[in-house]
Amino acid sequence: MNDAQQPPATGAPPPAAPAALEAIIEQARKARQHHTEDTFRRLGRGERLSAEQIYDTLHAHTVCTWWLLVARHIEYADSGGLRPAQAIARFISWIAPYATDPTPPEPATQAPAPGADTERAAALDHLERSLALVRQNAARAFLTQAETLAPACFRQQTPDTSAGQEATA
């Protein structure tokens, strides 16, 4: 296939994707765009970002990235693309463990004497916990949406299923 025949790399769902999948991908893209624009608008005005704004932006980016990867797998995986149900089943098996990952423990509330290294370490501990919670919630949102597209694939995934095994659709 020459360059003139290749589809543009726009992140758009592949033409073979069902309408419901296209709608979910478009919704995820719009949410990501909305939160990104809001973040940059606030930063441009010199405003501080709230934890809620950062959380919502990271959540939207995570969910959107996963759906765009599903679309990419449908179009390009295994040199011929995958059926949508196969791609969704594959991502269900890859993302499901995030929904049940144990939440890291609360960082210690009593920090040693203040200092740049101590403050950085404490901030990183809190951020690591926060990111784990964002991933868990994003995984639950993704799996809920995926279940509407491929309920049979979703039911085949059990807690015993290895993250490396894909359900067949």
Cα separation values, 158 from 84, 94, 116, 149, Å:
20, 12, 45, 18
The span from the CA of 154 to the CA of 109, in Å, is: 40
Residue 152 is predicted with a pLDDT of 54
Eight-class DSSP state of 103: P
148, two tokens: 């509407």
Q: Give pLDDT, residue 91.
A: 93
Query: What pLDDT, on a 0 to 100 scale, did the predictor assign at position 92?
Result: 94
What residue spans of the chain are helical by DSSP H? 19-44, 51-76, 84-100, 116-149, 151-156
- Residue 151 pLDDT: 64
What does the pLDDT read at residue 125?
A: 87
Residue 131: per-residue pLDDT: 93
pTM over 0.75: no
**Could you tell me if 128 and 101 are in contact, meaning their C-beta atoms sit under 8 angstroms apart?**
no
Separation of alpha carbons 31 and 59, rounded Å: 10
Residue 72 burial class via C-beta count within 10 angstroms: exposed 0-12, middle 13-18, buried 19 and up:
middle
pLDDT average per 10 residues of sequence, the chain (169 residues):
42 62 95 97 96 96 96 76 82 94 72 70 88 95 90 50 41
pLDDT of residue 149: 84
Phi, psi angles (nearest 5°) of residue 128: -60, -45
Alpha carbon distance 86, 91 (integer Å): 9
